[in-house]
Amino acid sequence: MGPQEIHPDPARDDHADSPAPTGIVVGVDGSEHGQCALVWAAREAERRRRPLHIVTAYSVPIFAASGLDGGYATVDDSVIREGAEAVLRHAVDKVSGYNIDVDATVENGDAAGVLLDISESAELLVVGTRGRGGFVGRLLGSVSSALPAHAKCPTVTVPLICAPRLGEEVTDKRAKADVAKEGVQPVENVVVVGVDGSEQARVAVLEAASQAERLSAKLRVICAVPQYTGSLAWVPAPMDRTALFADIRTQLDAGSQWLKSHYPDLPMEYELLDGSPVDVLVDQSRHVELVVLGTRGRGGFAGMLLGSTSDGVLHHANCPVMVVPDREDPRLADRANFGPVPAV
């Protein structure tokens, strides 16, 4: 990559007419959560040899005025913008040591809306799990849950608890307590992807395999089968679950052969586990590089929907989590050539 290219005025007024950001886009708000996401994004940009676009967004709050006159009062836009520019300057300085091209802008508008618009052209969006102490309440927490469900490109949320992995100091009391509780966990060079037999999960598997290649990591494909609940509780569990596991294993074996045809040199393993997908994947997150999920599951293995799983994992994971949106991929067309596919 060439030397860094940083706009002299990251809050330039003409950015609305500039080309849409591509490459790796990271949202920052001045919080430790945002700084953690920034470091992960810079490393990812370096791995992919893509430009890094740092963005922060703000909206000017309007307060209802009290008194006989009625009306509204607004906060001075210039004061807020200066705070946003300071956040960006600090972010740009923080990634100056990476061999990447850097671009940074301040956007005026709702943070979630701004980043969702950017997702139309970006290769990857990165945010912290939540923000604290950011300017004018534009906390990343308000967007980190909205982005994975609606973004047009994959999103990665980086929890503050994994700051020690990134060489970052943590002063946030809650995060320090979480780190102390978990202790220093050895991190395997493994990318984990959760599957449920749906096509959305197969899209996520392909993205996870690409990410494992970038990290020179092993890919671990996990299918966790929850206990029957509700109207299915009357089914004879021992007999039925034995048959279910056998059927899923057959389909997983077929899926592994399909994936191997597209990634012949990638080390991979498949695990079929008994338990809650959220609990299994959160436990995995304690000692792997990344967990990858689809946005939702549909028509896969009995009763297993990645939609609820991805939401649960995002809230409790101890490592970065990538959520991959449903999208077309020509490699899906030959899946049926390798064996049975779960019925939709």
DSSP state of 8: S
Q: Distance between the two ends of the chain, CA-based, in angstroms?
A: 45
pLDDT > 70 fraction of the chain, expressed in percent and rounded: 76
DSSP state of 98: S
Range of the domain at 248: 188-338
CA atoms within 13 A on the CB side of 99: 6
Domain count, the chain: 2
Residues 272, 219: one domain?
yes
Domain edge (last residue) among 129, 156, 182: 182
Residues 313, 235: one domain?
yes
Residues 20, 162: one domain?
yes
Q: Is residue 331 part of a domain?
A: yes
Q: What six digits make up the tokens of 265?
A: 């040199």
Triad 116, 43, 111: Cα angle to 5°: 20
Is the CB of residue 317 less than 8 Å from the CB of residue 282?
yes
Q: Which is more confidently placed, 303 or 196?
A: 196
Domain edge (last residue) among 115, 150, 182: 182
Nearest residue to 170 via CA among 213, 132, 202: 132
| pLDDT tens for each residue of 237-288 | 555 778 888 888 999 999 999 999 999 999 999 999 988 889 999 999 999 9
- The per-residue pLDDT for 332 is 94
In this predicted structure, the answer to whether residue 229 has a pLDDT above a threshold of 60 is no
Q: Looking at 170-317, which runs of residues are DSSP E strands?
A: 188-194, 218-225, 268-274, 288-294
Q: What six digits make up the tokens of 286?
A: 């304690």
Residue 132's pLDDT band (boundaries 50, 70, 90)? very low
13, burial (CB in 10 Å: exposed 0-12, middle 13-18, buried 19+) = exposed
pTM of the prediction? 0.85
Residues 155, 207: one domain?
no
- The CATH number of whichever domain residue 87 belongs to comes to 3.40.50.12370
Residues 215, 95: one domain?
no
Q: Is residue 5 part of a domain?
A: no
Residues 214, 149: one domain?
no
Residues 331, 196: one domain?
yes
Residues 40, 167: one domain?
yes
Residues 89, 220: one domain?
no
Residues 160, 217: one domain?
no
DSSP state of 313: H
Domain edge (last residue) among 182, 217, 244: 182
Q: Is residue 68 part of a domain?
A: no
Residues 18, 158: one domain?
yes
Residues 142, 204: one domain?
no
Dist. CA 325–CA 306, nearest whole Å: 11
